[in-house]
């Protein structure tokens, strides 16, 4: 439905800048453990005057670290930082065979070259962004894997420590890094919790490496005019009131859930929102500060309903909905969808390790990792105890949670298949089949969670026994249409507005197999003028429902350097949703 990348979510992949403020163990140090030194090396390979004292080596050998490991670590980062040296030694030990640390080979992994699926053309950041050149040797391949394991684990620990130093709980810091990625800057991680920059600036500069001003300038918001610079009369004034944050419910259950444990919320709609048509708007819940206040104020002051789909299926998806639908007499469809991983996919329980406590998946996104991440995880587990050390578990779980990896063999993880994502999102099997696998992942990651929408739209089932006329904006792959179909509501007319030809093809294929009504396709909301809207209304007698969700490319959490809110190039299309809805209401009020 929406061309978004999700809240961790996450449409398009943007390149992140890697500003590591606290660097006790830098990537450059780790990547040069065996690099040739300058001409000042002594006979033992040490820089003159920098050779470690025998007492220092003996101290760490006495703590249980092999001598060769200690010498390698000191050679990598020097002997002036005891904490950094200890951390590197612990990393070596966690990764397995210390005697082969010098050439970065991890014993127990069957050597083979890895090539990512050519069809998955997505940049996955620091988790899987190092693609081997064709013909590269097996030893170098494993060297890259072990080096990346060391670097990622150390960077992850460093970022967690920095967040803890400025007041985050360790579990919360770990969750933030899992969602945003270890490669993003400290300030991006802090901003992921919507802490204003002026509050961050007042925190201890010791944790930031003294780079506050430079990074704030670099990451400052770029102001853009909506609609590519064109003025629109429907755009609300951007006064200071939109800076107030909107509180999210905790837990994020909306106005009610399909059980008796959550009481229904009574609400009174603003007078402007009452009357035909019904409307339903969706977007990511955790948008930049002030966005939902603008959306709410624009859509007649209707209060948003924030819901996490984990209460409806086995995967999380935090979304905000603004609508004028009744909230009483909602009813879920039977049978209810599975709400845990093992209920949805029982065959995965055979290989699921006891230390992976996940029972639900994180938000399904448009991104899937290449083969390298799975290989690195397999190699990390191959040389550890059973269960693995807490340090290795933390590394493995960060990747599994971020990319929703599942266990398909001993120490073997894999991404969800497209048909499994279809299942979790409430679409029929093979709904997206017939297009490239990259397009399938992208289309599904940008869609409605259909079971959640079914619950909200269930109030319409008895109100329209003879069918509905629907105006679907930003249709995507037809999540709204599938929801209405599952409710047994006949769609007499659907005017679908969707810019992606791939998505239109997916919807058209499903429609031709399941529907008897008429599907009218419009390629772009910007071409759907008020005059065309009026013509359609007079031709078909009006619309019963206007439904959709504008792109969240400038709202979602991962799009850090394009996160311009509703002033962004893509997310400004929200105002077209309002313009078209307002035109429908205006014309129908005169009929």
Distance CA 379, CA 142 (A): 9
Closest alpha carbon to 166 in 197, 198, 204: 204
Query: Does position 7 have pLDDT exceeding 90, yes or no?
Result: no
Q: What is the DSSP letter of 15?
A: P
Q: What is the pLDDT of residue 580?
A: 96
The string of pLDDT tens digits covering residues 311-326 is 999 999 999 999 999 9
Q: What is the DSSP letter of 253?
A: B
The string of pLDDT tens digits covering residues 483-508 is 999 999 999 999 999 999 999 999 99
Please check whether residue 305 is in contact with residue 252, taking contact to mean a CB–CB distance below 8 angstroms.
no
How many degrees, rounded to 5, is the angle at CA 308 between CA 304 and CA 313?
Answer: 140
Q: How confident is the model at residue 351 (pLDDT cuts 50, 70, 90)?
A: very high
Mean pLDDT, residues 132-158: 52
Distance CA 24, CA 240 (A): 41
Residue whose entry in the numeric block shows the structure tokens 């019963």: 544
Closest alpha carbon to 21 in 204, 174, 221: 204
- Choice among 361-375, 400-414, 501-515 with the minimum mean pLDDT: 361-375
pTM of the model: 0.66
Position with higher pLDDT, 386 vs 487 = 487
Closest alpha carbon to 126 in 148, 158, 107, 143: 148
Nearby residues of 94 by Cβ (< 8 Å), 6 or more positions away? 153, 384, 389, 391, 392
Nearby residues of 196 by Cβ (< 8 Å), 6 or more positions away? 289
The tokens describing 1, both together, are 């439905």
Burial of 277 (0-12, 13-18, 19+ CB in 10 A): buried
- Choice among 23-32, 163-172, 316-325, 488-497 with the minimum mean pLDDT: 23-32
Mean pLDDT, residues 184-191: 57
Q: What is the pLDDT of residue 496?
A: 96
% pLDDT > 90, the chain: 42
**Residue 433 phi, psi (nearest 5):** -65, 145
Q: How confident is the model at residue 59 (pLDDT cuts 50, 70, 90)?
A: confident
Peptide bond into 184 cis (omega under 30): no
Please check whether residue 432 is in contact with residue 502, taking contact to mean a CB–CB distance below 8 angstroms.
no
Closest alpha carbon to 580 in 480, 481, 495: 495
Peptide bond into 387 cis (omega under 30): yes
- Choice among 91-100, 242-251, 512-521, 525-534 with the minimum mean pLDDT: 91-100
The string of pLDDT tens digits covering residues 417-438 is 999 999 999 999 999 999 999 9
% pLDDT > 70, the chain: 63
The tokens describing 560, both together, are 């850090």
Position with higher pLDDT, 327 vs 262 = 327
How many degrees, rounded to 5, is the angle at CA 303 between CA 269 and CA 469?
Answer: 65
Q: Which long-range contacts (CB under 8 A, 24 or more apart) does 385-394 make?
A: 387/353, 387/354, 387/355, 388/355, 389/94, 391/90, 391/91, 391/94, 391/153, 392/94, 392/153, 393/355, 394/153, 394/156, 394/174
Q: What is the pLDDT of residue 129?
A: 33
State how far the alpha carbon of 231 is from the alpha carbons of 234, 408, 427, in Å.
Answer: 9, 53, 38
| Beta strand residue intervals within 380-499, DSSP E | 406-409, 412-414, 468-473, 491-497
Query: Does position 407 have pLDDT exceeding 80, yes or no?
Result: yes
Q: Tell me what the pLDDT averaged over the chain comes to.
A: 74
Distance CA 32, CA 76 (A): 7
Position with higher pLDDT, 368 vs 137 = 368
Out of 39-53, 144-158, 180-194, 307-321, the most confident range is 307-321
Q: What is the pLDDT of residue 150?
A: 59
Q: What is the DSSP letter of 495?
A: E
Instruction: Say if strands 491-497 and 518-522 run parallel, antiparallel, or are unpaired.
Output: parallel
Q: How far apart are the first and last CA of the chain?
A: 30
Q: What is the pLDDT of residue 577?
A: 95
Could you tell me how many helices (H) and strands (E) the chain has, helices first? Answer: 20, 9
Mean pLDDT, residues 264-282: 91
Q: What is the sign, positive or negative, of the torsion defined by CA atoms of 289, 294, 295, 297? A: positive
* Helices 138-165, 82-95: inter-axial angle, 10-degree rounding: 130
Please check whether residue 351 is in contact with residue 407, taking contact to mean a CB–CB distance below 8 angstroms.
yes
Q: What is the pLDDT of residue 52?
A: 73
Q: What is the pLDDT of residue 241?
A: 44
Out of 30-44, 177-191, 352-366, 542-556, the most confident range is 352-366
Distance CA 173, CA 157 (A): 10
């Amino acid at each position: 439905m929406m061309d978004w990348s999700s809240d961790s979510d996450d449409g398009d992949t943007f390149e992140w800048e890697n500003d590591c403020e606290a660097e006790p163990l830098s990537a450059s140090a780790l990547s040069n453990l065996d690099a040739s030194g300058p001409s000042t090396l002594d006979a033992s390979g040490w820089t003159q005057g920098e050779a470690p004292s025998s007492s220092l080596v003996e101290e760490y050998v006495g703590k249980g670290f092999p001598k060769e490991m200690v010498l390698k670590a000191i050679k990598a980062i020097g002997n002036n930082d005891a904490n950094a040296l200890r951390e590197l030694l612990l990393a070596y030990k966690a990764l397995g065979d210390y005697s082969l640390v010098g050439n970065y080979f991890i014993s127990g992994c069957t050597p083979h070259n890895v090539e990512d699926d050519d069809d998955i053309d997505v940049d996955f950041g620091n988790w899987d962004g190092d693609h081997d050149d064709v013909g590269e040797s097996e030893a170098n391949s494993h060297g890259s894997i072990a080096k990346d394991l060391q670097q990622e684990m150390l960077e992850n620990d460093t970022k967690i420590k920095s967040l803890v130093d400025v007041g985050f709980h360790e579990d919360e810091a770990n969750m933030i890094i899992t969602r945003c990625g270890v490669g993003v800057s400290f300030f991006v991680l802090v901003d992921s919790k919507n802490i204003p920059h002026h509050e961050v600036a007042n925190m201890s500069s010791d944790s930031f490496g003294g780079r506050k001003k430079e990074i704030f300038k670099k990451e400052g918001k770029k102001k853009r005019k909506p609609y590519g610079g064109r003025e629109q009369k429907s755009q609300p004034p951007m006064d200071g009131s939109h800076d107030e944050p909107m509180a999210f419910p905790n837990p994020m259950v909306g106005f009610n859930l399909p059980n008796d444990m959550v009481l229904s919320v009574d609400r009174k709609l603003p007078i402007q929102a009452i009357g035909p048509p019904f409307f339903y708007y969706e977007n990511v819940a955790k948008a930049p500060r002030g966005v939902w206040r603008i959306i709410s104020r624009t859509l007649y002051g209707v209060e948003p309903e924030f819901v996490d789909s984990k209460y409806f299926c086995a995967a999380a998806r935090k979304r905000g909905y603004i609508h004028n639908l009744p909230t009483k007499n909602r009813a879920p469809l039977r049978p209810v969808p599975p709400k845990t991983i093992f209920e949805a996919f029982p065959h995965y329980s055979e290989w699921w390790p006891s230390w992976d406590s996940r029972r639900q998946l994180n938000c399904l996104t448009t991104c899937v990792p290449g083969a390298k991440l799975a290989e690195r995880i397999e190699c990390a587990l191959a040389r550890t105890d059973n269960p693995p050390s807490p340090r290795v578990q933390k590394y493995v779980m960060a990747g599994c949670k971020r990319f929703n990896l599942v266990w398909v063999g001993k120490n073997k993880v894999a991404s969800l298949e497209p048909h499994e994502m279809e299942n979790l999102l409430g679409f029929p099997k093979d709904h997206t089949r017939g297009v490239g696998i990259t397009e399938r992942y992208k289309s599904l990651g940008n869609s409605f969670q259909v079971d959640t929408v079914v619950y909200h739209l269930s109030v319409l089932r008895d109100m329209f026994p003879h069918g509905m006329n629907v105006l679907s904006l930003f249709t995507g792959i037809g999540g709204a249409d599938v929801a209405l179909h599952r409710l047994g509501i006949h769609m007499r007319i659907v005017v679908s507005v969707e810019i992606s030809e791939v998505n239109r093809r997916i919807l058209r294929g499903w429609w031709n197999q399941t529907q008897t009504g008429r599907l009218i396709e419009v390629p772009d909301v910007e071409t759907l003028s008020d005059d065309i809207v009026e013509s359609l209304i007079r031709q078909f007698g009006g619309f019963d429902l206007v439904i959709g969700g504008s792109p969240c490319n400038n709202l979602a959490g991962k799009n850090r350097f394009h996160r311009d809110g509703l002033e962004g190039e893509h997310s400004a299309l929200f105002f077209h949703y309002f313009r078209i809805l307002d035109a429908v209401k205006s014309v129908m009020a005169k009929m």
